[in-house]
Amino acid sequence: MNKEKPDNEHVADSTMSAAIDGVAALRSVVQRVNQAAEKAGRVSDRIRIVAVSKTKPVSLIRQVYDAGHRSFGENYVQEIIEKAPQLPEDIEWHFIGNLQSNKVKPLLSGVPNLVMVESVDDEKIANMLDRVVGNIGRKPLKVLVQVNTSGEESKFGVEPSGCVGLAKHVKEACLNLEFSGLMTIGMADYTSTPENFKLLAKCRSEVCKELGIPEEQCELSMGMSGDFELAIELGSTNVRIGSTIFGAREYPKK
């Protein structure tokens, strides 16, 4: 006679199944990145896959880590400071969400292995990051300037016309930060995504010319689950993949 499993065993089974799917999905994404790079005549090991684990449990992140992946991203400060201490220290965390000034200290203090903040969109947040990095005595933090290439009011990011000025401020006035490139989020419905990505590449050319740095030293973080192959074709060095690896987001029911 079959006995009904207790609820906690159902949860364990579903978590294990999701983890196996996550590992298989990661391998599929790696293969797709390699193919997109080859098609574009690029070297795939120059393209970083950031596995975006927002709303996902530590157990699933650990499974993807155990499969050999090391770059993970989070959108919310509270989530990353809760998850990071429960996971191995050699994970390279990227913060990719909008960052408020009052969350900078908890983020930097709570995640010593934070390697990059991808969402610097004004001088105020750059200055705050610079000050806190200096105060807590950690090594310089890599940052990307977020550019609003789609012109949507709902999106964060500096206007394209302001990206050179902000990049220059980070490089010249924020000695505890390492300006590492630009980031953007394309249109949600993908209608103008190629234009968004091409505009970011144009911004990079202008920034590199102004700062006197080679373009290959300036990252382009663009491309998510629905458009990362196109982003690679247009020069992305950093793709942020969430639902394609981890499955749909799981937000708490209100």
Q: What is the pLDDT along the chain (254 residues), one digit of tens a residue?
A: 444 444 444 444 444 555 558 899 999 999 999 999 999 999 999 999 999 999 999 999 999 999 999 999 999 999 999 999 999 999 999 999 999 999 999 999 999 999 999 999 999 999 999 999 999 999 999 999 999 999 988 899 999 999 999 999 999 999 999 999 999 998 876 666 899 999 999 999 999 999 999 999 999 999 999 999 999 999 999 999 999 999 887 766 65
Contact 58, 247 (CB under 8 A): no
Element (H, E) at 9: helix 7-39
Name residues whose C-beta falls within 8 Å of residue 74's C-beta, 6 or more positions apart in sequence. 52, 53, 54, 80, 83, 93, 94, 95, 96, 97
Supply the DSSP string of 78-103, one letter for each residue: HHHHHHGGGS-TT-EEEE-S---GGG
Contact 250, 237 (CB under 8 A): no
Q: How many CB atoms lie within 10 A of CB 1?
A: 2
Contact 218, 182 (CB under 8 A): yes
The whole-angstrom separation of Cα 182 and Cα 234 is 14
Q: Model-level pTM greater than 0.85?
A: yes
Residue at 108: amino acid letter = L
Contact 60, 24 (CB under 8 A): no
